[in-house]
Amino acid sequence: MSKKKFKTEVSQLLHLIIHSLYSHKEIFLRELVSNASDALDKLKYLTLTDDNYKKLKFDPRIDIKFEDGDKKKLIITDTGIGMNEDDLEAQLGTIARSGTKNFLNTLSGDEKKDANLIGQFGVGFYSSFMVADKVEVLSKKAGEEKAFLWISDGENSYSIKEAEKKSFGTTITLFLNDEGSEYSSRWTLENLIKKYSDHIAFPIFLEYEDTTWEGEGDDRKEKKEIKVEQVNAASALWKKSKSDLTEEDYNEFYKTIGHDNEEPLLYIHTKAEGTLEYTTLFYIPKKAPFDMYQADYKAGVKLYVSRIFITDDEKELMPTYLRFLRGIIDSEDLPLNVSREILQQNRVLTNIKNASVKKVLSELQKLSENNQEKYIEFIKEYNRPLKEGLYSDFTNRDTLLELIRFKSTEVEGYTSLAAYKERMKDDQKGIYYITGENEDTLRNSPLIEGYVKKGIEVLIMSDEIDEIVIPTIGTYKETELKSVNKSGTADDFKTEADEETEKKVEPLIKKIKDALGDRVKDVVVSKRLSDSPSCIVADENDPTVQMQQMLKAMGQKDAPEVVPILEVNPTHEIVEKLEKVSDNEFIKDISFLLLEQAMLMEGAELKKPAEFVKRLNRVMTKAL
């Protein structure tokens, strides 16, 4: 027998599940039955497509029974694909996804809040330890000779040893603790199976001891009999007519395939007939999956062919920007032995995918029009992935432009481009926006002072992806999107008075420019500033400060450094007083401070902070 420690992430997760999800402990049965169903799905596919498995006698079923005694046991058996030693190690001893550690770091210690977060993770097999103080997993992989027994108390370690098992599949034995003893009841188990697993496409049998009485009076005798009954409907829910399903049916099915404790935000059930025959059932979770921004995110859509499971690990089934979707695609027109390579090039699947994307976006459009409160819930979780679609899905760009939302200087909460356009001033020359890392910083940026003072709305874009995506849009309904981070935008407000002011301060501008040298691309009189003395902007063809930082973060350290344009406010008291100064060293110090404070406001890095501090000290000394 080999005894091994759980990986750190598993130990952390086990502790959190046991302590944070206690009020949801009944979900353990849903999770174990769902895993058994997956194992049956996988073996069914192999027996139909792989010559090595076609001769196996495949009798798909899930059996559940309980045993009373000194230690109450709950036993769940399936006739699915089974696991060998390596599988047990990989699936029960390790969580292999890189996002797990980051996810665990987001947990707060607030049990109620963490319960919802853990729901996003999908607790799976480990939920067993909420009701059991020991779990045994006896498994034999289909087509192999050896069976293995996995044992753990859910604390720090587990053991694996060779064992005896006649047939392939998996048997999980839960040694129930005091809190779990209620699950050694026929009625409790039957109700839970009907509640959570009625739609599982394989029969679930419950074994129990039934007591009857024979005879009358003193001759009356107790008779005990072991009975086995199928307790689920065993039909594919997604193939049923919408009229035969209730909202509760949809929600319970989602909780099983989505491994979530909450109800979904939205479900979309489609049955297509004609040239292509297929059924889709998609769900949008209330909370974004924890691994949504991880490269190794788990795909949430399962592919079936005529109700036979094909794969749940194919990220090409839906576009990447809709990776938060959970659900089913069931096609009548794909071959059973379709390979992953064929899937990616298959015209049938491509047509299903394209139609499904349009359907999902159409339903989101309806939601935004009919239930704004619920749509804002969606936006808070999924606005950023939709923006990715603007960059990657040109076919549906017009629809996506109507769906995405932005923060704004004019309204609270979120606004659409359409709503912004309705509020535009008659003489306004564009849809103005500012990009950066932090919403509060952007709202207080000198770059938008002049716009706000003139009553011109500016969209606040603080998502990292905005810097990449928004410039590619170009125009929205013939109105240009203009970045206030760029130099040319201010020309929209140029007046004759500005030209006179420029001539007046031209000597000072030249002195500042000479003082800063190659630290700036240019120094110009600002037409956008009202309260601040200076700001920095990027030349029209140069990347912004934020874009440069993003490129460095992506590993492009050799990218040429682009210097900013410094804009100076000629009406600010500092600048007006600087015009009268003759001390060149003092002018130089102030010039650098005007640049450096503007850089700090935009989140740019000061390469020589020590020089900045010395400069600031010299100026403060003179001021005192």
Phi then psi for 200, rounded to 5 degrees? -55, 130
Phi, psi values for residue 346, rounded to 5°:
-75, 125
Amino acid at 94: T
413: left (phi over 0), alpha (psi -120 to 50) or beta: left
CATH number for the domain formed by residue range(s) 404-491? 3.40.50.11260
Share the mean pLDDT of the chain.
87
- Per-residue model confidence (pLDDT) at position 115: 47
Measured distance CA(453)–CA(528) in Å, rounded: 9
Local confidence band at 476 (pLDDT 50, 70, 90 cut-offs): very high
Residue-wise pLDDT for 272-318, tens only, equals 998 899 999 999 999 998 888 888 888 899 999 888 888 888 888 99
77, β-bridge pairs: 63, 171
Where in the chain is CATH 3.40.50.11260? 404-491
pLDDT, mean of residues 224-232: 90
Instruction: Flag the least confident range among 31-45, 106-120, 160-174, 244-258.
Output: 106-120
User: Which residue in 11, 20, 77 sits closest to 261, CA to CA?
Assistant: 20
Fold of 2-210: Heat Shock Protein 90 (3.30.565)
Using one digit for the tens of pLDDT, what is the confidence trace for 494-549?
Answer: 666 667 778 888 999 999 999 999 999 999 999 888 899 999 998 888 777 777 77
Q: Is the pLDDT of residue 211 over 90?
A: no
Amino acid occupying residue 45 = Y
End-to-end CA distance of the chain: 79
What is the mean predicted confidence (pLDDT) over 554-566?
75
Q: How far apart are CA 208 and CA 225, in angstroms?
A: 8
Structure confidence by residue, pLDDT tens digits, 19-58 = 665 567 888 898 899 899 999 999 999 999 899 999 999 9
Q: What integer pLDDT is reported at residue 96 of this predicted model?
A: 45
325-366: pLDDT as tens digits? 999 999 988 887 766 666 777 889 999 999 999 999 999 999
Question: Could you say which architecture CATH assigns to the domain 493-623?
Answer: Up-down Bundle (1.20)
Tokens of 161: 């040893």
Which residue intervals of the chain bear CATH 1.20.120.790? Answer: 493-623
For the domain covering 238-370, report its CATH number: 3.30.230.80
DSSP state of 129: G
Residue 382 predicted with pLDDT over 90 = yes
CATH 3.30.230.80 domain extents, the chain = 238-370
Lowest mean pLDDT of 118-127, 172-181, 471-480, 528-537, name the range. Answer: 118-127
Query: What pLDDT is stored for residue 291 in this prediction?
Result: 84
Which segments of the chain belong to CATH 3.30.565.10? 2-210
User: Could you read off the pLDDT of 96-148 as tens digits, one per residue?
Assistant: 454 555 655 665 555 545 545 444 455 578 888 889 999 999 999 999 999 99
> pLDDT tens digits, residue range 263-285?
999 999 999 998 899 999 999 99
